[in-house]
Structure 1
Amino acid sequence: MSDLPRKAVTRTAKLAALPLGFAGRATWGLGKRIGGRSAEIVGRELQQRTAEQLFKVLGELKGGAMKFGQALSVFESALPEEIAGPYRAALTKLQEAAPPMPTSTVHAVLAEQLGEDWQELFEEFEDKPAAAASIGQVHRGVWHDGREVAVKVQYPGAGQALLSDLSQLSRFARLLGPLIPGMDIKPLITELRDRVSEELDYSLEAEAQRAHAEEFADDPDVVVPAVVHQCDQVLVTEWMAGLPLSEVIANGTDAQRDRAGQLLARFLFSGPARTGLLHADPHPGNFRLLAGDHPDGPVEEWRLGVLDFGTVDRLPDGLPPTIGTSLRMTLDGEADAVYQQLCEEGFVKESIELDPDAVLEYLLPIIEPAQVDEFTFTRGWMRRQAARVGDPRSPAHQLGKQLNLPPAYLLIHRVTLSTIGVLCQLGATVRLRDELEAWMPGFVPEEEPAGSELTGFDTVISADISEEAVEGSTA
């Protein structure tokens, strides 16, 4: 029924060819250096050629390859401009496009899931897909009650392809490291693989989307489409138009960028407080900027549309209050208290001893956006942070290698870092402190709980800094 299982051998061959290509280019680079070219110039050329092959292969495949590409794309801001520039369009394409399923396959899935008379459920159904993702594609239609709907149809064999791709990618994760300085790829792939079963279960996605749609109904800032119908491999929700965030990144006005960035930060911090769930797939393809009933009205009145709740982190009590407390303590320069709580919470292992002042000095640049009333997120800022913690010669890198990321915070860490990556792509000026004060328990002193421990925003952002740190947490 599907191309995915039948072409498993082809998929594996394409992915397996990636490390061979990387190795060949490394040999080419060594020859160039022997020939007298500087290591820096040769290194940039190697990065560029590696990126070119990687994104080409990921763009051709669905399943885990595309899922990995989408996750990687939000970190484009950390790439040097000479690497990021040529591939920005390719990365953006991964966020919203993939080769479509044949129409006959789509109809067969709908008949199996909705019944042979499935067409009677729709007044209209467009065979041409409106969007595609890693495990399914979306078709536009009109439900029998007249509502415009989005019909997500899961690729047959998607689970098998997802697991196969991610397993293959994890075998050469170390070779992908140079693409994103300061970030270890291996735990990202591991975390994506661990959540395959949840993403394939449309009942869980429908449950999470219903919770958000109910909570944000009539919200002045955030829109979540209602769930219309759901079964194992088909999910029908209300249709949401609007300006895709990828278009705002590419061509948006300053006002649109700032509005999108502010609302993205607001949704990141308010979602767990209001629903007990953290939307855990914050790539630009999952967001829209909605002008509402008055397209010519002020951008300040536009709302953020949120899609795809297939991956969520369940936080029934919201983000822990200690996140806000630890962030505030770091901003206040309480080095000894912060370090003590890092140790108590497992971010510093018992066998490691660090200088509290050095730890504070390491953290402060990372949480710069929270130090001021408003902050402009830029690709340049993201690159500087990545270079600071990713350069093996830097003190920050050496200290970061000794920090540990507890497994419970892997997903919160990735979502936070991914959101910051999108804000940097937007180049948005955001009043982050406003959102922290409104939604982050413990950030305002009066809300500080007794006996708080550190599980904080600062360590969540910083703990991506080394392979050793994350591998230590997932062993």
Structure 2
Amino acid sequence: MAKKPVTTRTGRFIRLAGMTASVASRYAGARARSWVGAEENEQRRSENYSRMAEDIASTLGDLKGAVMKVGQIASQTQDFLPKEFSAALQRLQKEAPPVPFDVITGQIESELGKPVAELFATLDETPYAAASIGQVHRATTHEGQDVIVKVQYPGVDESCDSDLKQLRMALRLGGLLKLPKESVDQLFAEIRLRLREELDYENEARNIALFRDFHRKDTWVHIPEVLPQLSTRRVLTMELVEGDHIEAVTPERYSQDAINTIGHRLFTTMADQLFRFHCVHGDPHAGNFAFRPDGSLILYDFGCVKKLKPEIVQAYRNAIVSALDEDYAALDRCLIDLGARVEDKPALDQAYYAMWRDILIVPFASADTPYDFSQADLHRQVAAKTPTVFKHMDSLRPAVESIFIDRMIAGHYWILKRLGVQAAFRSELERYLNGEG
């Protein structure tokens, strides 16, 4: 049975305050026991972090909304969180439990000002999809058009700011925000801005129109069109455009050639958005894509879109070129331009940069030999080296302006891996780096 959502600011505050108190208590207890031996202390610390992570992930998953979305972002960009949070936060990437149908119909009628029966000929009670901020239901208009209706959960919009403040306090009191206050301020300001945009479905409708225009010449990219007469700030109705979820891309229906074509097209859409349009789809998890055996891509959910400053795109391009050329002095300057390294601190050892370059370059090592993403273990190598980031915390900080670029790339990596794409992207990458994409 669907769980009744917490829709009031007071109710959400109480749940988050309880989580904060639990996390702070665990952290304080761990500090008090820190006199034990180093090996035992490390084990206790790991166990304590695991319990804190479970508390946080469980609460965020129940509350949905802004805090669940932050948890999803954190699960994809874990460099500045302890590794114990990885598995717990990854659960938030899965489809959220649905809210009751009467809550959904009440929100639709409140927003559109008419009974559901006057708005739609049919509206499926079973959700088509359920996510952190809203729920999607399939419907038919009175004109006979098949559509999907995206409905924002009640109370999520009004609680966004207080939710974020409470979550930030929980992370701080749990000893998890091991960053300078200035970096934390910038990071949460960026997340708040993106969430505010994502909570505005009228803004998403404009984003959809923008990306349909971006990809108008790409006959293999399909983006659903919005029905404005059935849409508001908290309800978004779009044409139904269906394809196969990633789980349905199986050898029985998709040849390896078709999968590889999809892989190249995913790379092209990602690179076009970054290097040509300077505007990226900021929530690229598998649930926001669908596929067809002819190699077509279907893109969903344009609530989280990051418009990039040209100088940030250029700095990102320069950083990739410097890494490919193994010019680590130039790479260091590029990271300063991106805001990823503190300018008035000494440059990091070039061996440190070389270590990361040698891990991340592997899919692009050859222009001719396909890389088998199904066998990729970059995520494990990155996870193994992530603790080294904490040794350089005085010199490194989250690159706020490019965090959604990193998120886009990480999301596409997982999709390519799950699809089992075999492709050599080096030549395509170099064309984009040279401005020829």
With normalisation by structure 1, the TM-score equals 0.72
Match for residue 379 of structure 2?
382
Quickly say closer, same or farther: Cα 1:320–1:195, change in 2 above 3 A: closer
Query: Which residue is equivalent to 1:223?
Result: 222
Q: Match of 1:370, as an amino acid?
A: F
* Aligned pairs for 1:203-282 within 5 A: 203-217=202-216, 219-229=218-228, 230-245=231-246, 255=256, 262-272=264-274, 275-282=277-284
| 1:58 corresponds to 2:60 | yes
Does the Cα contact within 8 Å between 1:339 and 1:359 map onto a contact in 2? no
- Residues 58-457 of structure 1 aligned to structure 2 (within 5 Å): 58-74=60-76, 90-93=91-94, 96-103=95-102, 105-116=103-114, 119-174=117-172, 175=174, 177=176, 189-217=188-216, 219-229=218-228, 230-245=231-246, 255=256, 262-272=264-274, 275-291=277-293, 301-315=294-308, 320-343=313-336, 347-354=340-347, 357-358=350-351, 360-368=353-361, 369-373=363-367, 374-376=370-372, 380-391=377-388, 397-399=390-392, 401-404=394-397, 407-420=400-413, 423=416, 429-438=422-431, 440=432, 443-444=433-434
Give the Å deviation of 1:423: 5.0
- Contact 2:243/2:290, CA 8 A, preserved across alignment: yes
Normalising to structure 2: TM-score of the pair? Answer: 0.77
Distance 1:355 1:10 in 2: 47
Point out where structure 1 has 5 or more consecutive residues left out of the alignment. 292-300, 449-475
SS in structure 1 of the partner of residue 150 of structure 2: strand
Residue by residue, what CA displacement relative to the aligned partner does 1:114-134 show, whole Å, maximum 9, x if unpaired? 342653443322233322223
**In 2, are the aligned partners of 1:78 and 1:386 still within 8 Å (CA)?**
no
The residue type equivalent to 1:70 in the other structure is Q
Cα separation, 2, equivalents of 1:257 and 1:273? 24
Q: Is the 8 A contact 2:338 2:401 kept in 1?
A: no
DSSP 3-state at the match of 1:351: coil
The CA deviation at 1:307 is 1.0
1:10 aligns with 2:11: yes
DSSP-derived class of the 2:54 partner: helix
- Could you say if the C-alpha distance between residues 47 and 241 of structure 1 is closer, same or farther in structure 2, counting changes exceeding 3 Å? farther
The runs of 5 or more residues in structure 2 that have no matched partner are none
Query: What SS does structure 2 have at the residue aligned with 1:402?
Result: coil
Structure 2 CA distance for partners of 1:189 and 1:428, relative to 1, 3 Å: farther
CA distance in 2, matches of 1:425, 1:275: 27
Q: Percent identity?
A: 29
Distance in 2, Cα, partners of 1:264 & 1:159: 32
Question: One-letter code of the match for 2:326?
Answer: G
Distance 1:110 1:167, change over 3 A: same
1:106 and 1:132, CA in 2 relative to 1: closer, same or farther beyond 3 A?
same
Moved more, 341-350 or 219-228: 341-350
Report Cα offsets for 1:161-216 as digits up to 9, x if no partner: 2222222111122437499xxxx988655432222321222221101112223443
Q: Deviation of residue 362 (structure 1)?
A: 4.9
Distance 1:171 1:423 in 2: 36
Displacement of 1:398: 3.5
Aligned length: 420
Residues 434, 208 of structure 1: alpha-carbon distance in 2 compared, 3 angstrom cutoff: farther
Q: For the structure 1 residues 316 and 118, does the alpha-carbon distance in structure 2 shift closer, same or farther, using more than 3 Å as the test?
A: farther
CA distance in 1, matches of 2:197, 2:260: 33
Q: Structure 1: which amino acid aligns with 2:192?
A: R
| Aligned-partner Cα distance in 2 for 1:76–1:330 | 22
Query: Residue 46 and residue 3 in structure 1: after superposition, are their counterparts in 2 closer, same or farther (change >3 A)?
Result: closer
If asked which structure has higher relative contact order (CA below 8 Å, sep 6+), I would say: 1
Partner Cα distance (1:254, 1:247) in 2: 13
C-alpha deviation, 1:140, in angstroms: 0.5
- Which residue identity does 2:203 align to in structure 1? L
How much does 1:97 deviate? 2.0
Q: What is the one-letter code of the residue matched to 2:164? A: L
CA RMSD of aligned residues (A): 4.3
